[in-house]
């Protein structure tokens, strides 16, 4: 029978994998469409919400970000998302397969992502970065516990 901690680890890692998949899709979409097409899409996406609430925080931030998106910003964001997505996908696959090398790498990489997110928070003050960082910390802790469990099991088995 699986422990609650192990199940929480699996759920956390699967969520990390889903996040990595979304980053891959986002990176590909950023490479596929010019900034003007992205802005047009965001305007269409947010029009209904802004007609109901002209001060909607998410919709206005999305529009502002789309309006100020330069080709250089777009390329940086695409590379950032693609690299994060690939790294997360590889680590998640290895963790779910129980590869011992993946545990310390995942802890290190997820810690680095968290540090960068905290740095970005102080620049942008986006609450989403805090949420993502808290989730990263939880996954890091769960990965650490799981790593110890797997090492103990392999030493006894």
pLDDT tens digits, one per residue of 96-142: 998 999 999 999 999 998 998 898 888 887 787 888 889 889 999 99
What pTM did the predictor assign? 0.76
Mean pLDDT of the region 70-84: 87
Kindly report the three-state secondary structure assignment for every residue of the chain. Answer: CCCHHHHHHHHHHHHHHHHHHHHHHHHHHHHHCCHHHHHHHHHHHHHHHHHHCCCCHHHHHHHHHHHCCCHHHHHHHHHHHHHHHHHHHHHHHHHHCCCCCHHHHHHHHHHHHHHHHHHHHHHHCCHHHHHHHHHHHHHHHHHHHHHHHHHHHHHHC
User: Residue 70: what pLDDT?
Assistant: 82
Give residue 131's domain range: 4-156
The total domain count for the chain is: 1
Q: What spatial distance separates the first Cα and last Cα of the chain, rounded to whole Å?
A: 17
* Two structure tokens written together for 157: 């088995």
pLDDT tens digits, one per residue of 12-31: 999 999 999 999 999 999 99
- Output the average pLDDT for the chain: 89
Residue 118 to residue 132: CA distance in whole angstroms: 10
């Amino acid at each position: 029978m699986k422990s609650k901690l192990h199940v929480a680890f699996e759920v956390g890692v699967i969520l990390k994998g889903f996040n990595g998949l979304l980053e891959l899709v986002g990176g590909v979409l950023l490479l596929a469409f010019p900034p003007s097409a992205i802005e047009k899409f965001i305007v269409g996406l947010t029009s209904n919400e802004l007609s109901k609430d002209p001060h909607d925080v998410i919709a206005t931030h999305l529009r502002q970000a789309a309006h100020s998106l330069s080709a250089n910003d777009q390329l940086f964001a695409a590379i950032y998302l693609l690299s994060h997505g690939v790294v997360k996908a590889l680590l998640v696959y290895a963790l779910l397969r129980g590869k011992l090398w993946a545990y310390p790498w995942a802890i290190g990489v997820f810690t680095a992502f968290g540090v960068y997110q905290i740095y970005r928070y102080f620049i942008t003050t986006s609450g989403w970065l805090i949420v993502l960082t808290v989730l990263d910390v939880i996954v890091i802790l769960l990965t650490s516990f799981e790593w110890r469990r797997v090492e103990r099991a392999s030493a006894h088995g």
